[in-house]
Structure 1
Amino acid sequence: MRAEIIAVGTELLMGQIVNTNAQYLAKGLADIGVGVYFQTVVGDNVSRIKESLHIAKGRADLIICTGGLGPTQDDLTKDVLGEVLGQKLVIHEPSMNTMTEMFQRRGIPMVESNARQALMLEQSDPLPNDTGLAVGVAVMHEGTHYILLPGPPKEMKPMFDRYAKPWIESKLDHVQPLYSIMLKFAGIGESALEHALIDLIEAQTDPTIAPYAKEGEVAIRLTTRASSPDEAMTRLRPLEAEIRGRLDEHIYAAEDITLEQQVLRMLAESGQKLAVAESCTGGLLSDLLTAVPGSSQSFLGGVICYSSTLKHKLLGVPMEMLEGPGAPGAVSEETAAELARNTLRLLEADVAVSITGVAGPGESEGKPVGLVYVGLAHRNGQAFAVKLQLSGNRETIKLRAAKSALYHLWKTIKS
């Protein structure tokens, strides 16, 4: 079954809200073996919604629309679908009763326009709304399946999970579900990753290999259709093993989690405490770590030592290392290692990481933009530093430096 998602709402086109519904629906459909081939966003306009439905009908077996089911004049989705399919709109009495009782309990008069939310197509199956007022619609017409869902995610998600998904499954003819393994990589770029796996990518049939990239991390999803999880794993595991054999030093997880989540998990499992010292990243590494719930179990905190004065006064880096003739400078291997070593000692941590570098836009100490050193220290080993030469603008360099620090921290904890 081929599916298309149509998100209705001018606010989406204007960038006022983000279309998270499409992502949620696409994943939910994939779980039951339905592939989403197209996603469309259309404004609150009768002719454009109608055109989108006609286009979708020519290329999809299942069309799911979100939005436009509310009480106002620009909530047009049911009206337009009714016109396209030649079906009248009728009141769904249970929804109408629920709505009437709710207004009575609150002591608020129900205006006439609210009744629009209880409308459904005369030949459709109603999809109850457990968290809102607008009833959903599921209908099959001339071989095409249509589902209308509300736009607010708090209403859309439970309606889809509880009612729309079972309705779709009842229409499927023995379609095998999709099973996937997600491999997460760090310390390697998308191009280098593809080069290492190009023979597998070019020869792929089943399972399929799909790469995904975002700043500082890359992921590969291995996917197959199977009648059971055991059958799926029989196909997926050999391919996973082959990829691990080539790139194991970069695979930090076999699930869809961030690098900072994995680092904190490993620290928690081993009972270790982390502290950081940040110069050019200005606290970004700490922000990534503390964005993870429960990070306080393993993350002690850190110091933003942007100036040489603070590097010296707070973390004990000798001034002769930071400034003066022949000094390595604030941006150097020596300073990065010293920052990590002293942070470990002063904050009484088990592992410490430091970042010092040139984020730009201009040079510093005569050193180029993008030159960054990551220092690492562990209570059971010697402090050391890793040199990076990063590219991009100031924000990009800061993020890449923080992610690189997490990668080398992961390697240190792992070893």
Structure 2
Amino acid sequence: MAWKAEIIAVGSELLLGQICNTNAQFLSKQLAELGIDVYYHTVVGDNPKRLREAILTAQNRSNLLIFTGGLGPTKDDLTKETIADALGKKLTMDDDALTDIQAYFKKVNRSMSENNKKQALVLDGSTILPNTTGMAPGMALLDSDITYMLLPGPPKELQPMFLQFARDYLLERLGMKEQIVSKVLRFYGIGESQLEADIEDLIDKQTNPTIAPLAGDHEVTLRLTAKHQSLAEANRLIDLTESEIRNRVGEYLFGYDEDTIYSVLFQNIKESQYTLASAESLTGGLFAEKMTSFPGASNVIKGALVCYTNDVKENVLGVSKETLEQEGAVSRKCALEMAESVKTMMKTDIGVSFTGVAGPEKLDNQPVGTVFIGIALPNKETIVHKLQLAGSRESIKHRTAKSGCHLLLKELFK
């Protein structure tokens, strides 16, 4: 049976924008790894009439309905009551869940109010999903060829429950005995459309592993997912596909899984025992802020200078007055002098500089999005890269800082 999944998040706070629907993102990723397609995301407020309408709509188009939120003790927590009513099911008290809730209140030395017992009510005939980090249990129920799964709203409760119990329930329903292995490949400096075009034939013939492209935050990722009864064989299939992809677009690959382009650059510089300093104009210290967020940063990043005005570029950093007057602050020559000066000033192995036009107006007769990145390396000539970026002011700043990471990785470790 091909599953069509729908994630239904319950909570007026989601509609009001008070919190983000991170549960849907988490569940979609987890279901993708199981080979279950998510067709719809639905958000509905704490209203039984509208929730019932959402259930009826989902029943007509999906056969795996996963609900998040609305399992708590208050009057507006109506998820399981509304589902029970829609399915004609009774709610029964789960003794194990009630015992766990009573034990929790005893542990924290608080008296348990009567309404907390409500959290131990479950759909009659459902499989209970224990809550190891909270009180309300989850549950799963098969009814008329549709699987209903109810999970708590707080991510700290939902995520452990899914990974420890709900995932196994779904695997059993799928009849899967294979090992599932996923690996995320992260790319920078290539657009999603270009990456897909370069590996289009691999995507078209994908079976096992599957290849799922995803763009976001100025980067592109590919999620490779393989299934096999042998874990070693699943990993081998992943490695073979990755090798084919690397042969085509490997120059843009910077990391895997939870890596960021900043963490990869930091780790490479740390392992090489280099030191780094930055001179930042349009990025305003963004690069240094990101690079100093890792433990042990003081062994890698000696310092940074935010030189936003020409006066600071000249009188603090030491960029020549002639360069600023004749070439301008947004120029190849200025970026070169900034990188070399900050490297000398802070006595580091590497100096990197960022100067350009973030907008909204042009500067030094350079259009918005013009960026120069200078890289002063140990025992090499200083290199300056010119970029022409598009987007909002904030987007240009972030893309500039990430581009600096990408270029440093290429120049230092190619």
The residue matched to 2:269 in structure 1 has which SS?
Answer: helix
The residue matched to 1:212 in structure 2 has which SS?
Answer: strand
- Structure 1 CA distance for aligned equivalents of residues 175 and 367 of structure 2: 61
**Which stretch of structure 1 is more off in the superposition, 64-73 or 126-135?**
126-135
Query: 2:408 aligned with 1:405, yes or no?
Result: no
Could you say which residue in structure 1 is the equivalent of 2:139? Answer: 137
Structure 1 pair 4/306, CA: closer, same or farther in 2 (3 Å)? same
Question: CA offsets, 1:134-156, max 9 Å, x none?
Answer: 12222222333222111011111
- Structure 2 CA distance for aligned equivalents of residues 211 and 164 of structure 1: 26
The residue matched to 1:115 in structure 2 has which SS?
Answer: helix
How far did residue 336 of structure 1 move? 0.6
- Structure 2 CA distance for aligned equivalents of residues 21 and 170 of structure 1: 22
Structure 1 pair 401/46, CA: closer, same or farther in 2 (3 Å)? same
Could you say which residue in structure 2 is the equivalent of 1:209? Answer: 211
- Structure 2 CA distance for aligned equivalents of residues 229 and 352 of structure 1: 44
- Structure 2 CA distance for aligned equivalents of residues 199 and 119 of structure 1: 51
- Structure 1 CA distance for aligned equivalents of residues 361 and 28 of structure 2: 44
Letter aligned with residue 24 of structure 1? F
Could you say which residue in structure 2 is the equivalent of 1:64? Answer: 66
Could you say which residue in structure 2 is the equivalent of 1:379? Answer: 378
Question: CA offsets, 1:234-280, max 9 Å, x none?
Answer: 43434322322222221112434111111011112211111111001
Query: 2:175 aligned with 1:173, yes or no?
Result: yes
The residue matched to 2:358 in structure 1 has which SS?
Answer: coil
> Which of residues 12, 15, 24 is equivalent to 1:13?
15
- Structure 2 CA distance for aligned equivalents of residues 91 and 262 of structure 1: 51
The residue matched to 1:314 in structure 2 has which SS?
Answer: helix
1:7-406 superposed matches below 5 A: 7-103=9-105, 108-174=110-176, 176=178, 178-323=180-325, 327-406=326-405
- Structure 2 CA distance for aligned equivalents of residues 264 and 11 of structure 1: 38
Return the TM-score normalized by structure 1.
Answer: 0.91
Cα RMSD of the aligned pairs, angstroms, is: 2.3
- Structure 1 CA distance for aligned equivalents of residues 377 and 107 of structure 2: 63
- Structure 2 CA distance for aligned equivalents of residues 103 and 96 of structure 1: 11
Question: CA offsets, 1:79-136, max 9 Å, x none?
Answer: 0121122221122223323434544565644333222111112222322222222122
- Structure 1 CA distance for aligned equivalents of residues 200 and 30 of structure 2: 30
- Structure 1 CA distance for aligned equivalents of residues 392 and 342 of structure 2: 28
Seq. identity, %? 44
The residue matched to 1:285 in structure 2 has which SS?
Answer: helix
The residue matched to 2:199 in structure 1 has which SS?
Answer: helix
Letter aligned with residue 406 of structure 2? Y
The residue matched to 1:230 in structure 2 has which SS?
Answer: helix
CA contact (8 A) 2:33 2:225 kept: no
Aligned residues: 412
Structure 2 portions without partners, runs of 5+: none
Letter aligned with residue 54 of structure 1? L
Letter aligned with residue 188 of structure 1? I
Return the TM-score normalized by structure 2.
Answer: 0.91
The residue matched to 1:44 in structure 2 has which SS?
Answer: coil
- Structure 2 CA distance for aligned equivalents of residues 254 and 97 of structure 1: 43
Structure 1 pair 203/108, CA: closer, same or farther in 2 (3 Å)? closer
How far did residue 322 of structure 1 move? 1.2
- Structure 1 CA distance for aligned equivalents of residues 84 and 236 of structure 2: 47
Structure 1 pair 36/293, CA: closer, same or farther in 2 (3 Å)? farther
Letter aligned with residue 321 of structure 2? M
- Structure 1 CA distance for aligned equivalents of residues 274 and 408 of structure 2: 12
- Structure 1 CA distance for aligned equivalents of residues 121 and 394 of structure 2: 49
CA contact (8 A) 1:30 1:178 kept: no
Q: Greater relative contact order (Cα 8 A, min sep 6): structure 1 or 2?
A: 1
